Amino acid sequence: MEIKSVGIIGAGQMGVGIAQVAAQSGYDVVLFDQSSDAVKKAFGRIEKSLARLVEKEAITADAAHDAQARLTPAASVSELSQCDLVIEAATESEDVKKAIFKSVCEHLKPEALLASNTSSISITRLAAATDRPGKFIGLHFMNPVPIMKLVEIIRGIATEPETYELAVNFARSLGKTTANSEDFPAFIVNRILIPMINEAIYTLYEGVGTVEAIDTGMRLGTNHPMGPLELADFIGLDTVLAVMNVLYEGLSDSKYRPCPLLVKYVEAGWVGRKVGRGFYDYRGEKPVPTR
Enumerate residues 6+ apart whose C-beta is below 8 A from 206. Answer: none
Asked if residue 9 is part of any domain, the answer here is yes
Last residue of a domain, one of 139, 162, 181: 181
Q: Which of 146, 181, 216 is the last residue of a domain?
A: 181
Average model confidence (pLDDT) across the chain: 96
pLDDT in tens, 55-95: 999 999 999 999 999 999 999 999 999 999 999 999 989 99
Which of 88, 190, 198, 230 is labelled catalytic? 190
DSSP 107-158: TS-TT-EEEE--SSS-HHHHHHTSS-GGGEEEEEE-SSTTT--EEEEEE-TT
152 is catalytic: yes
Determine the Cα–Cα distance for residues 114 and 87; give it in Å rounded to an integer: 6
DSSP 273: G
One domain, residues 138 and 275: no
Number of domains in the chain: 2
Query: Is 76 found in the same domain as 204?
Result: no
Q: Is the pLDDT of residue 151 over 90?
A: yes
Q: Among 132, 155, 181, where does a domain finish?
A: 181
> Which amino acid, residue 265?
Y
Q: Is 25 a catalytic residue?
A: no
Catalytic residue among 119, 120, 122, 198: 119
Domain of residue 89, CATH code? 3.40.50.720
Q: Let me know whether 200 and 266 are in one domain.
A: yes
11-20 burial: b if 16+ Cβ within 10 Å, else e: bbbbbbbbbb
Could you tell me if 16 and 78 lie in one domain?
Answer: yes
Q: Which domain holds residue 74?
A: 5-181
- Which of the following is catalytic: 92, 116, 140, 230? 140
Does one domain contain both 140 and 282? no
The residue-averaged pLDDT of 271-290 equals: 96
pLDDT at 283 over 90: yes
Does the annotation mark 190 as catalytic? yes
Residue 186, domain member (yes or no)? no
Check whether residue 174 and residue 237 sit in a common domain.
no
| Same-domain status, 272 and 136 | no
Same domain, 81 and 32: yes
| 93 and 142 inside one domain | yes
pLDDT value at residue 1: 84
Per residue in 97-113, pLDDT (tens digit) is: 999 999 999 999 999 99
Condensed to tens digits (0 to 9), the pLDDT of residues 261-280 reads: 999 999 999 999 999 999 99
Could you say which of 117, 152, 198, 230 is catalytic? 152
Instruction: Please state the rounded mean pLDDT for residues 133-159.
Output: 96
Burial of 176 (0-12, 13-18, 19+ CB in 10 A): buried
Cα dihedral 187/193/198/199 (nearest 10)? 120
Please indicate, yes or no, whether residues 143 and 44 belong to a single structural domain of this protein.
yes
Contacts of 111 (CB under 8 A, 6+ apart): 1, 84, 135
The predicted model gives 148-164 an average pLDDT of 97
Examine the pLDDT at 235 and tell me if it is beyond 90.
yes
Cβ within 8 Å of residue 32, ≥6 positions away? 7, 8, 9, 10, 11, 39, 73, 74, 75, 76, 77, 79, 80
Q: Helix or strand or coil: residue 8?
A: strand
User: Above pLDDT 70, what percent of the chain?
Assistant: 100
**Which CATH number is 276's domain given?**
1.10.1040.10
Task: Work out the average pLDDT over 191-211.
Answer: 98
Residues 71 and 116 both lie in one domain: yes
Average pLDDT over residues 241-254: 95
Express as a percent the part of the chain with pLDDT over 90.
Answer: 98
